[in-house]
Amino acid sequence: MSAWIPEEGLRFECTACGACCTGPPGYVSYTKQEGAALAERFGLSETEFEERYTHETPAGRSLKEVETEHGFDCVFLDRETVPGKAVCSVYEERPLQCRTFPWWPEHLRSERAWNGLERECEGVHRGDFVPIEEIRINAGKQKSRDGSVNR
Ligand code: SF4
Print burial letters for 49-88: b (CB count within 10 Å at least 16), e (below 16). Answer: bbeebbeebeeebbbbbeeeeebbbbbbbbbeeeeeebeb
**Which of 13, 20, 73, 104 gets mutated to test ligand 1 (max ligand atoms within 8 A of its CB)?**
20
- Map out the domains of the chain as residue ranges: 10-145
Per residue in 91-150, pLDDT tens? 999 999 999 999 999 999 999 999 999 999 999 999 999 999 999 999 999 888 765 556
121 in contact with ligand 1, CB cutoff 6 A:
yes
- Binding site membership of 88 for ligand 1 (Cβ less than 6 Å): no
